[in-house]
A and B are shown apart, each in its own frame.
Chain A
Amino acid sequence: MSRRWIILKRNLLNFWHAFRRNRMGLFGAFLVFSALFVAFFAPFLSPYQPNETIRDANGRGLTFAPPSVHPPLGTDDAGRDIWSQLVYGARISLAVGFLAGFIAMFIGSTLGILAGYFGSWIDNLLMRTTDILLVIPDLPLMLILVATLRRLELHISPIVILVLVIGLLYWTTTARLIRSQVLSLKERQFVARSRAIGAGYFHIIRKHIVPQILPLVVANTVLIISVAILIESGLAFLGLGDPTRPSWGTMLNFAFDRNAISNGAWWVYLPPGLAIVWVSLGCVLLGNVLEEMLNPRLTSHHLEGEALMVARRPIEPSTQEKP
């Protein structure tokens, strides 16, 4: 096994030992992974098809049937099983959240690294762009973008439109965070040494900057995913989701438009909202704990990586003490 692999394994183990003791983080991880599990095994967990109308013995649709054994969470206005919709909706909500989060993370960290490392006009451009994006009210901006893209008849799914619009607008906080980390990293000894022995910027970024900021990027991505899931639910509630493949937000849109509230059908509008809170709360808890745990490593843990690069390794403390 290579030395790099051993270091990685030890770091992961160390991390796991610390993480295991953090109850908040474990709870967050449980919320997120249970939702992922449900989304992944949706066909095995749903007794009905999500768009299938359940009928009684006389062949009439069971509209607004309250929760019972069959169907477990009751039915909506069209007699469709809420639990099955919820399980399949997890796929859409989580997919949009994760994909949009990854896009935002990718754009944000790329721009953050470039701006932080190269400075000058790239940095200026990035900072001014984020300033401007922060001032423009985001929901109205997203609404007109999504409305225009849908109207353009580009033959792309409404879900893809949501992923793109959310991902392309929510990279600003990541970019700023990464930029400030890179700014301090590039002044550090091991980067200066690396530069002194003739390493190019691509090599330095790849070997020194990226591994150092990666944990922070992971933590930040988890936080962005929670934002993306909340935003998706809002846009879908306003009618911008895909009605043929309902996410949790779309379910709430249907519930609201088709009078679940005035019918007293709480089982139609409570579960999707609880599911959204479940996942977004999980992501926030997990993301915050990860950030808290991984951030200090940025200042103290770079020696591991450096040992691979620098030709003369520092003398071990044990050998140093011996006369």
Chain B
Amino acid sequence: MDRRDFLLRKIVFALVTLAIVVTLNFFLFRVLPGDPIRAVIGRNIRISTETQAALRAQFGLDKPIFPDQFIDTLGQWARGNLGISWSLRQPVSDVLISKLGNTFLLLTLGQIFSIILGTALGLLAGWKRKTSVDVGALTFSLVAWAMPTFWLGIILLAAGSAWFGLPTGGIVSPENVGKPLYQVLPDLARHLVLPTLTLTILYLGEYMLIMRSSVLEVLSEDYILTAKAKGLSDWQVLRQHALKNAMLPLVTLIAINLGFTVSGAIYVETVFSYDGLGKLFQTALVKQDFPLLQGAFLLLAVTVIIANMIADILYLYLDPRVKTS
């Protein structure tokens, strides 16, 4: 199997997955009791049956669900029309876009810190294998894994607000809403400390473990022995030879973990009332706002699927050893 086949295969896989997600999303929504039209007009009884029928015809709800309505909905989704949120009475796509930036900011910060710390600690643990550093790192990742994300958030929230006076939620303080970004930057940073810390601890363990096992694998390679034989210091061996190759699995892990990252965002944003996609998802869940739920799910799933595809392809170019799956 050559490179082109590999690419083609990955793209087809992503497309099939997307098709499944879209179909699932459509039918889950349609299986719900109640008439979509009723949901849109609310409990307004004064709308006559004729008007309702007209509305139904206008939205194509008088046609069979499959294939007419299905294809129609797909067309709508492709054009970015995800329906109207029941609770917010706004187009779902507008709501989603308005929260996207906040979530992106939080997740990026969490990822950056956890990658830097995780790489450093994993490297150290792998290098100093079977010492107290290594055991400590392993214990930490085990306990962090066994801890529910939201509970870690709650503890950090309680401790951070009580002992360090950090804000308990939101993105900026109420008095700073609407001011230009450069003025609220210190306030924003203060609000970001706790959610970022929670996400960092959450992601840290896995990066550390992957880096550790990756370092262990690389250190057993012949070229490391050669490097040592050349008389390079430990640090030089580590930095010039081990690190670069050990980093490889990490690159794909970032993308493959995006699904996990998204779960973290839902919990952390809920705990810290952080105004992003995750908090939106939770609110939609509590208010049973199905169009919003479906739209958010579609956005998250599509993003994760595409990111995975890109990661697979990227890995092919980063690691010349990868030939086929």
Contact = CB atoms under 8 A, between A and B. Distances in A.
Interface stretch (A33-41, A137-145, A181-189): A137-145
Interface in B123-151: 142-143, 145-151
B-side interface mostly? helix
B143 A132 contact: no
Given A239-B285, A273-B155, A148 B146 contact: no
B21 interface: yes
A273 B290 contact: no
Contacts of A312: none
Interface string B14-40: 001100110001001101110000000
22 contacts: A128-B16, A132-B17, A132-B20, A137-B260, A138-B263, A140-B262, A140-B296, A145-B28, A147-B290, A151-B32, A152-B32, A153-B33, A237-B151, A238-B266, A249-B148, A261-B157, A262-B168, A269-B158, A273-B147, A276-B147, A277-B148, A277-B151
Contacts of A147: 285, 288, 290, 293
B154 A276 contact: no
B28 A144 contact: yes
A137 B288 contact: no
Contact of A140 (B146, B147, B158, B300): B300
Given A136-B21, A237-B148, A276-B151, A143 B258 contact: no
Given A136-B21, A147-B293, A262-B168, A273 B148 contact: yes
A238 B301 contact: no
B146 A226 contact: yes
Interface string B241-267: 000000000000000001110110011
B25 to A, nearest CB: 8
B69 interface: no
B42 to A, nearest CB: 17
A172 interface: no
A152 B266 contact: no
Given A273-B147, A281-B142, A284-B142, A136 B154 contact: no
Contact of A141 (B16, B158, B301, B308): B301
Interface of B: 13, 16-17, 20-21, 25, 28-29, 31-33, 142-143, 145-151, 154-155, 157-158, 161-162, 168, 258-260, 262-263, 266-267, 270-271, 281-282, 285-286, 288, 290, 293-294, 296-297, 300-301, 304-305, 308
Contact of B259 (A136, A233, A281): A136
A282 to B, nearest CB: 9
Contacts of A234: 148-150, 263, 267
Contact of A135 (B142, B147, B304): B304
Interface in A16-73: none
Given A238-B270, A273-B151, A277-B147, A144 B263 contact: no
A138 B32 contact: no
Contacts of B142: 281, 284-285
Contacts of B267: 234, 237-238
Contacts of B282: 238-239
Interface string A147-159: 1100111000000
A252 interface: yes
A284 B150 contact: no
Given A136-B301, A148-B32, A252 B293 contact: no
A249 B149 CA distance: 12
A209 interface: no
Contacts of B297: 140-141, 143-144
Contact of A230 (B146, B266, B305, B308): B146
Contacts of A106: none
Given A143-B266, A261-B161, 5 more contacts: A136-B17, A140-B281, A239-B282, A276-B146, A276-B147
B154 A261 contact: yes
Contacts of A240: 285
Contacts of B31: 148, 152
A46 to B, nearest CB: 22
B308 A266 contact: no
Nearest to B27: A148
Given A137-B263, A140-B266, A252-B151, A151 B288 contact: yes
A230 B259 contact: no
A252 B150 contact: yes
